[in-house]
Copies of this chain bind each other. A is one copy, B any other.
């Protein structure tokens, strides 16, 4: 019954939503996801499980509708991707990845999320910011990555997503640019065997947060991803890594409707 209520709700949203605007939104999304100078925020929230379990089904759906409302309202300005951590992570239940041209737009979305009827059940566990930049070390590589990121993933099988904050040592930053470039080339070469099954995106964080980089991965083949990380641990550049993870955040990509349906139960 709960499930059919949610489905009905979803259909209603489909009818009411002005889908024409979504064509423009798709173009903007493309731009924000591929261009440099875009801010990426990873926000992890924990759902107050005991409180949430006490709500009756109708109240839950009402509150999840407020989640949908806030996301719809802001997605003209920011791109919001949603991941389910629950069950796979001890960090929290939901991960929002938000891309925006300016960080205050991300703040406005998250303020409205927290003020919403759903938001009062959420506890902010972690927020990390990064910035997309033009590749500096290996100019040939990123086009391939960009193409790859544009590949539409199989709709029937949502991939896993992994977020790894990285901090380099002072020694790394003290190396001259050439040495760093040479090591990054070795690093990049190690990733090539996995370029088709593991998508990567890099965010630069120095000063914005307590890491230098946020490495974001998407894959349907977790074993490939694991082997990729193993390869990266074996190149020389890894010796200049002071923090790798802590925490590594692993979840599954979900549509807003899927999350609503799962949490309504």
Chain B residues with Cβ below 8 Å from A3 are none
Interface residues of A in 194-248 (CB under 8 A from B): 204-210, 212, 222-223, 225-226, 228-230, 233-234, 236, 238-239, 241, 245-248
In the complex, residue of chain B having the shortest beta-carbon distance to the beta carbon of A164 = B207
Stretch at the interface among A4-12, A81-89, A137-145: A81-89
Subset of 16 A-B contacts with CB under 8 Å? A48-B50, A49-B114, A50-B51, A50-B120, A53-B115, A86-B107, A87-B109, A87-B114, A88-B106, A88-B129, A111-B262, A162-B207, A164-B207, A173-B238, A206-B229, A209-B248
Q: Which residues of A contact B (CB under 8 A)?
A: 37, 39, 41, 48-51, 53, 84, 86-90, 102-104, 106-111, 113-115, 119-121, 123-127, 129, 131, 160, 162, 164, 170-171, 173-174, 204-210, 212, 222-223, 225-226, 228-230, 233-234, 236, 238-239, 241, 245-248, 250, 252, 262, 265
